[in-house]
Every structure is written in C-alpha cells, then in structure tokens.
Amino acid sequence: MQIRNTKSKDEVLRILSQSDYALSHTEIENQCAVAFDRVTLYRILTGFEQQGVVHKIVGNDGKARYATCKNECTDHEHHKDNHLHFGCNDCGKMYCFDNKTIELKMPKGFKAQQFNYAVFGTCPDCNQ
C-alpha cells in the first residue's frame, strides 16, 4: 500500500483535468464542490507533482499554478514539462503550450532537473 484514493484527490484531479489552463491553489479551492482543508490541498498537489500527475508553474507573482501533465510518463522517467507557459497580466490565466518544448543544453557542470519557462503579457481574450 502506498497511495490511497480519496474524494479530495478525485475532486482536485477532476478540476485540473477539466481546466484548459493552469490553476492556482485559490482557483482550485473556488471550484471545489467538496470542501476540505487548505493544508490538504497543498499536500495533495505536492503529492501529485511528485507522482508526475501534475506539474507546477510559478508566475511573476510568485504564486504556484498547477496543470495536469499531458505528455506520457514512464515509470523510469517522468516527463520534464519543459514546455512554454504564458501568463496573462490582465486576466491572470496561465496557459500551457504543451507542444512548445524548449530543449537547451546546459552550460558545463549544471545539471537540470526542473523547468519553469514562462512568458507574460496579454492573452488573445484580453487583446481587444
């Protein structure tokens, strides 16, 4: 036994799966039908992240946002989520560009483990 299914985790995963952009803790809480503690959400998301179910993107505001991982993961290698993100300065939405992968060779001696590629500006909806 390692990981257990719970209503809270189901609900969080449901919300993230149905969203077409990355969600912050607050945004997830607001969309939750089931009610549970704030700390629980932190632990759920951290857990999901470690399992490779979701990935985290940090915006210019320093706030974490989470999105489900679309790319395939093997048991031996979780995908790296080294793709581009776009945060709208107007509406606050953080988009995942899953197909816009960024492959960079690190300078000698630097070993890459996580990626946080984000651009900020205005999204199409806010560009009228």
Partner DNA sequence: TTTATCAATGCAACAATGTTGCATTTAAAT
Partner DNA sequence: ATTTAAATGCAACATTGTTGCATTGATAAA
* Site membership for DNA, residue 93 (CB under 7 A): no
* Residue among 86, 83, 85 nearest 127 (CA): 86
Q: Which residues of 9-36 are buried (b: 16+ CB within 10 A; e: fewer)?
A: bebbeebbeebebbbbeebbeeeeeeeb
Structure tokens at 100: 């816009």
Q: Which stretch binds a copy of itself (CB under 8 A): 4-12, 13-21, 30-38, 54-62?
A: 54-62
Window of 9-17, 29-37, 88-96, 115-123 that interacts with Mn ion by CB under 5 A? 88-96
C-alpha span between 83 and 97 (Å, rounded): 6
Give the interface segment with Mn ion, choosing from 31-39, 45-53, 72-80, 92-100 (CB under 5 A). Answer: 92-100
**Smallest distance, Å, CB 2 to a copy of itself?**
24
Positions touching DNA (CB under 7 A) are 1-9, 24-26, 35-40, 42-44, 46-47, 62-64
